[in-house]
Amino acid sequence: MKVIMLGAPGAGKGTQAKMIADAYGIPHISTGDIFRANIKNGTELGKKAKTYMDKGELVPDALVVDLIMSRFAEDDCRNGYVLDGFPRTIPQAEALDAALEKNGEHVDVAVDIEVPDENIISRMGGRRACTNCGATYHVKYNPPKVDGICDVCGQKLILRDDDKPETVKNRLNVYHTQTQPLIDYYKKKDILRTVDGTQDMNKVFADIKAILG
Ligand code: AP5
């Protein structure tokens, strides 16, 4: 099963993608997590990506497409995957379709998690992320067991640099101009399914499970 998660920054794509990955036994592939790991490790890719991410801009398509194509070649992808944060532009979506078509494959479902912009701004300020294992929390809606510490690996939780309000506003603008057109792209292919992302995260997941079967 090949699933794409769509939605604004902070809509809950990562939260739901992790739940899908656990429930369906497929890998969760987040381009944002891959870039953050590269930044942490000081790689050339990480240095390039950071200049865009800190401003809330998208990393250029060419860098992202090469990166994701090499990830698909790994063994754990043979039964599919859930993509979180990719594709994010029409050229990325076309590159994905072209790569899959070469092997007679296709995307099965694109799940759009709908959350209005006003909810997003308040959500992002409360998000806390683990720089070690990538787990995410929310101080109010999904708090860790011990304040400021990751439940999974025991490392410190941080507020992401790009979760500051002025950067979130730019990320939302970038989303509306460059990523939202993907909703029509997948609607035309008849694989778009929409869920209400303002509900409790377990209810959002129940709706997604009803779609995926
Ligand atoms: P990326 O890491 O993909 O960020 P994003 O898309 O902006 O998404 P987020 O991770 O911010 O949010 P999310 O939707 O996953 O929400 P989450 O589940 O954490 O990308 C970062 C940057 O990398 C981009 O800006 C760009 O520069 C670059 N990049 C990445 N991919 C790229 C690509 N393909 N092309 C070019 N550039 C790329 O939830 C948010 C918070 O809300 C959490 O605290 C969570 O606990 C809480 N929450 C979740 N669900 C609920 C709920 N139902 N109710 C209440 N709270 C909830």
The ligand 1 atom at the shortest distance from the C-alpha of residue 203 is 53
Q: Give domain status of residue 169, yes or no.
A: no
CB atoms < 10 A from the CB of 165, how many?
A: 10
Q: What are φ and ψ of residue 157, in 5° steps?
A: -95, 145
Q: Is residue 33 part of a domain?
A: yes
Residue 52 burial by Cβ neighbours in a 10 Å radius (0-12, 13-18, 19+) = middle
What's residue 131's pLDDT? 86
pLDDT digits over 140-189, tens only? 999 999 999 999 999 999 998 899 888 999 999 999 999 999 999 999 99
Residue with CA at minimum distance from ligand 1 atom 55: 141
pLDDT value of residue 179? 97
96-149 pLDDT, tens per residue? Answer: 999 999 989 999 999 999 999 989 988 898 999 998 898 999 999 999 999 999
Residue 138 lies in a domain: no
Whether 91 is in a domain gets the answer: yes
* Nearest-CA residue for atom 17 of ligand 1: 12
Q: Is residue 166 part of a domain?
A: no
- Print the domain residue range for 51: 2-116+179-212
Mean pLDDT of the chain: 95
CATH of the domain at 85: 3.40.50.300
36 is catalytic: no
Judge whether 13 lies within some domain. yes
pTM, two decimal places: 0.94
Q: Could you give the number of structural domains in the chain?
A: 1
